[in-house]
A and B are shown apart, each in its own frame.
Chain A
Amino acid sequence: MHEQELIEKIAFNVVQGRIEAEDEGFDEGLDGQPAVTELLREALERGLDPRPIVIEGLSKGMEVVGGKFQREEYLIPDMLASAECVGAAMDILSPHLTKAGVESRGKFVIATVAGDLHDIGKNIVSIMLKGAGYEVIDLGADVPTERIVKAVSEYQASFLGLSALLTTTMRVMGEVIEELQKAGLREDIKVLVGGAPTSEGFAKQIGADAYCKDAFQAIDVLKNMSSG
């Protein structure tokens, strides 16, 4: 198999959401064929540069998934299967990327704010960001404001993602931003907010840097932030 063909196959299997050869994909009849793990091993054995694998294999694959999800061709489980593929691939690739001198795209602290126990959406974003090459520090759900501020400072994070699913807890996001300001950390961090009751307008009102409708939008927003 040609190198380019191998990378395209990896992207195809990310879209299909197949980690190992035995996995079924979104389409029928793929089980038994080499999947992301097997293809990656082959690529590494052949000494392929890990960077194009990430960019053209994993990221491109997830872009396709994002489009399909937005068109409602893909449902939540389809998207998660693909995200898991990227997670598994990154586990295999990480040591090789470090060896090649590739750094993560930045540290991203993520949490559901105090008083709110909803973590499903936050977890999806967390998986997707890992797949997109960020170093994710996931603090969990119902995280007190002080702990969020402390983590931002300790990890010297570049990004903070805040989630809330309740109209009663979304205002805590504003408090987190105020506390970051008081601690003198606001200048150095981009704050992204999301969750069912939040909106573009709400993000502006509390002084966040961006509102993200879903995980894919978060990745788009981050891309624009680092290029702009």
Chain B
Amino acid sequence: MIIIGEKINATIPKVRVIIRQRDKEALLELTKRQATAGADYIDINVGTGVGSQEDEIRAMQWAVQTIQREVDTALCIDSADPAVLEAALDARNGRPTLINSTKAEKSSLEKVVPLAKSYNVPLVALSMDETGVPSSVEDRIRACKNIARVCEKYGVLLESVFFDPLVLPISTDVNQGLVTLYTLMKVKETLPMAKTIVGLSNISYGLPARARLNTAFLQMAIFTGLDATIMDPLDKELMDAVKTAYVLLGKDRHCRGYIRAFRGG
């Protein structure tokens, strides 16, 4: 499982302050803790929503350069603005990087997919289009297929595309867990070379004991063949849930990973 650490996100008030004040120590601390906990990529989202595009570009350049000087972990550059993504790709010194993300919307696809091609980096693709997040499996798969077509056009291999079927809260529509799981399965079936990814925590919005739901849902998603997840790597319950699902699904030869983690427990 590829773990993408979600904690550097400017929609979180504390992180917004770190970005605004260019607090190098705090940024590195947040990065290092996630890397030590086992994150394969560090997500960087500096969009505070209030400033200009210029502000977001400068903040992204600062974050990328600050992190790559001190930490070896790969980066996941997170913005809805292709110009910010491009600035981030230019700011890095050849560090492996994942683009997060494009939507199945023409204006986004035609700018972001060429970036993945010319910088030769993988990319996250969201199964949403002009109309929002489709509520049915069929419509989400249609969005994924549209993305796959554009990738083919620009010569981006599906091996390096992580399709995100998106997760909506079950508190407002109890079928949404299933919609995400079936979409994950269907992506693997119709686009077998493609990778899959989910951001978990939205599933439990508005409900009590959220950790329970997040863990169970992650394990179900792993059963469908999930390749990557955007999550909090400092959440030990979740990290343990990954190891447990892996051994149960025969993905952990001789139970090595499981035993190493829980021997004596």
Contact = CB atoms under 8 A, between A and B. Distances in A.
Interface centre among B130, B131, B132, B133 (most CB of A within 10 A): B132
B206 A75 contact: yes
Contacts of A120: 168-169, 172
Given A142-B130, A142-B132, A76 B49 contact: no
A75 B207 contact: yes
A165 to B, nearest CB: 10
Interface in A123-141: 123-124, 140-141
Interface residues of B, number: 16
| Chain B binding surface SS class | loop
13 contacts: A75-B207, A76-B169, A76-B206, A76-B207, A77-B171, A77-B174, A80-B172, A117-B132, A120-B168, A123-B172, A140-B131, A141-B131, A142-B132
A117 B206 contact: no
A8 interface: no
A68 to B, nearest CB: 15
Contact of B172 (A76, A166, A197): A76
B50 A167 contact: yes
Interface string B159-174: 0000000001101101
Contacts of A80: 171-172
A119 interface: yes
A77 B49 contact: no
A76 B171 contact: yes
Interface of B: 48-50, 128, 130-133, 168-169, 171-172, 174, 206-208
B171 A166 contact: no
B54 to A, nearest CB: 14
| Chain A binding surface SS class | loop
Nearest to B47: A168
A118 to B, nearest CB: 8
A38 B50 CA distance: 52
B50 A117 contact: no
A76 B172 CA distance: 7
A121 to B, nearest CB: 9
B74 to A, nearest CB: 28
Contacts of A142: 130-132
Contacts of A140: 131-132
A76 B208 CA distance: 11
Contacts of A119: 132
Nearest to B103: A117
A141 B168 CA distance: 15
B201 to A, nearest CB: 15
Nearest to B170: A77
Contacts of A123: 172
B128 A117 contact: yes
Contacts of A117: 128, 132-133
